Amino acid sequence: MIRRQIPGLSLTGLFAALWLAVPLPAVAATHFIVVEGLGGTRGYTERFRNQVEKMLPVLRRTAGRDSLVHVLAGTEATGGRIGAVFEELRRAVAPGDALAVFLIGHGSHDGRHYKFNIPGPDFTDDQLKGWLDAVPAARQLVVSTTSSSGGALETLKSPRRIVVTATRNGRERNATVFGQYWVEAFSAASADTDKNESISALEAFRYAESKVKAHYADNKQLATEHPQIQGERAGGFLLARLGAAAELARDPEKRELLDQREELERRIADLTLRKDDLPQNEYLDALQALLLELAELQERIDADGGSARGEKQ
């Protein structure tokens, strides 16, 4: 006989599920700024350009309006232009809105300050902090995929901000691969771990982090970057909608059914919170009943709208 334990549902997993399931306050709009820094070589320039090009359609779809996505690349990505965009947002953004900033390129750290490489003088973490602080959005996300980006973590820390960096600190100076996987996460079904057909900042981070780790292991290289995330509720910061979710979001006729589904999800979350207090069979039966209800509701959503459905690829 083989002695084996049947793995149970871990508490960590449960909390993660709940965390992602708990509805977050609706935001009026999400504003995106994408800055493509200097590549230095043709290879890096092409790589950064590709990453930005892959990200833009996704962000535009998430934002709902192209005007909410600001892109600064090539000669446009100067300190002056970037500052001007932040200034514009400082005036346009409402406190209930969200702001996400993506820095794609190379970075450096001089022992005191993180710098992002752009045409003309580089901007520092202090400057970036000033720009961000001035924008009233209550929910902010800053992602730097550059070398040395971890050097900005401390400076950018804020209760209303999630900060994602490719490196652990400013001393990790080698060019990174994090950006490539961060962008890949926006369209990867396996990054959508709660299967809600949306990719949150937390899901994208976890996906990219695991891919970076695998990248160095596969290539038998010592890892020269260790991605970091700081700040709370990254699971609720929506970055991308996949497939049907994107279409549903634009379909007002579905609203009632979607509200019912949201209510069911809330009840499931409540139940999972009480999991440890219930006998296992009772818990599973109750969970199954709610899920069957949800499954039937989902069939109605899928049948009524005629939207493309099915398993994501």
Positions touching other proteins (CB under 8 A) are: 1-4, 7, 9, 13-14, 16-17, 21, 189-197, 206-207, 210, 217-220, 261, 264-265, 268, 272, 284, 287-288, 291-292, 294-296, 298-299, 302, 309-311
Give min distance, CB of 221 to other proteins, in A. 10
Going by C-alpha positions, the residue among 239, 5, 255 that lies closest to residue 141 is 239
Give min distance, CB of 27 to other proteins, in A. 20
| Closest to other proteins by CB, 73 or 287 | 287
Burial class of 46 by CB neighbour count within 10 A (0 to 12, 13 to 18, 19+): exposed
| Closest to other proteins by CB, 1 or 26 | 1
Contacts 24+ apart (CB under 8 A), 4-10: 9/275
Q: Across-strand partners of 35? A: 72, 103
The rounded Cα 310 to chain-centroid distance in angstroms is 24
Give min distance, CB of 12 to other proteins, in A. 10
The rounded Cα 196 to chain-centroid distance in angstroms is 14
| Closest to other proteins by CB, 17 or 56 | 17
| Closest to other proteins by CB, 101 or 301 | 301
Give min distance, CB of 313 to other proteins, in A. 12
- CA–CA gap between residue 127 and residue 106 (Å, rounded): 17
| Closest to other proteins by CB, 84 or 273 | 273
Going by C-alpha positions, the residue among 64, 84, 70, 60 that lies closest to residue 34 is 70
Give min distance, CB of 286 to other proteins, in A. 10
Cβ(88)–Cβ(134) below 8 Å: no
* Those residues with Cβ within 8 angstroms of residue 57's Cβ, 6 or more apart along the chain or in another chain: none
Give min distance, CB of 311 to other proteins, in A. 5
| Closest to other proteins by CB, 109 or 206 | 206
| Closest to other proteins by CB, 2 or 65 | 2
Give min distance, CB of 256 to other proteins, in A. 16
| Closest to other proteins by CB, 16 or 29 | 16
Give min distance, CB of 1 to other proteins, in A. 6
Cβ(275)–Cβ(282) below 8 Å: no
Provide, for the chain, the percentages of residues in helix, strand and coil under a 3-state DSSP scheme, each rounded to the nearest 5. 50, 15, 35
- CA–CA gap between residue 178 and residue 181 (Å, rounded): 5
- CA–CA gap between residue 273 and residue 283 (Å, rounded): 11
